[in-house]
Amino acid sequence: MKDDILIVGIGGTLRAGSSTERAVQGVLKHAEAAGAKTIMYSGPDVNFPMYAPENPQRSPEARQYIEDIRNADAVIFGSPGYHGGISGLIKNAIDYTEDMSKDANVYLAGKAVGCVATGFGWQGANSALHALRLVVHALRGWVTPLGIALNTKEKLFDDNGNCLRDDVDGQLRIMAAELIEFASARKKA
């Protein structure tokens, strides 16, 4: 049953290989190892024009992004902590889910959503994590019990994206398991 679960990860910055991107990829890696299918949207992938609800025109990339979220059984949002909240890039990508407001399952209803936040210090990471969780609640998503806040003052990933700390990798693995467990339960219902 796990092989029919799709998890979409969204996160990072415009800098390839950011800590946030690697953390979301880490969760997806563990989900794939457990048998789930995954799609990753890193920072450059969601560098869409500012969301404008009054303008229904969408790029092919933005339409595909929304379609993938619609089809997902679970989602991960990852953001660096910028000035006490979510980065503008990731918040704009999340704003595009407004295109799902008239769907039968509006926004993220019925989907488990993992939240990952990074910051160069605990304050930024924790405030961004809190903000992400509030946004997911507003979008009717089911936030995983584990939220991940990572302090990037210490190097957490090597140049190939491998996690350097067992405790952090353990958190990534737990989040993947929670997403799969919730999605599996929803499919059985």
For residue 64 the two structure tokens come to 């595909």
pLDDT of residue 188: 80
Q: How far apart are CA 63 and CA 78, in angstroms?
A: 20
- Assess whether pLDDT exceeds 70 at residue 3: no
Return the SS3 of 63: helix
- Per-residue model confidence as pLDDT tens digits over 156-184: 999 999 999 999 999 999 999 999 999 99
Please report which helix (H) or strand (E) contains residue 142, including its range: strand 142-143
Digit-coded pLDDT (tens) for 106-153: 999 999 999 999 999 999 999 999 999 999 999 999 999 999 999 999
**CB contact burial 44-58 (16+ within 10 A = b; e otherwise):** ebbebeebeeeeeeb
Provide the whole-model pTM. 0.95
**Residue 1 in this model has a pLDDT that exceeds 60:** no
Q: What is the pLDDT of residues 47-64, one digit of tens each?
A: 999 999 999 999 999 999
Question: Is the per-residue pLDDT at 18 higher than 80?
Answer: yes
Can you list the domains of the chain with their CATH numbers? 2-188 (3.40.50.360)
Mean pLDDT (the chain) is 95
Q: What is the pLDDT of residue 69?
A: 98
Average pLDDT (97-103) is 96
Q: Which range in 15-19, 50-54, 84-88, 113-117 is most confidently predicted, on average pLDDT? A: 113-117
Q: What's the number of CA atoms in the CB half-sphere (13 Å) around residue 137?
A: 7
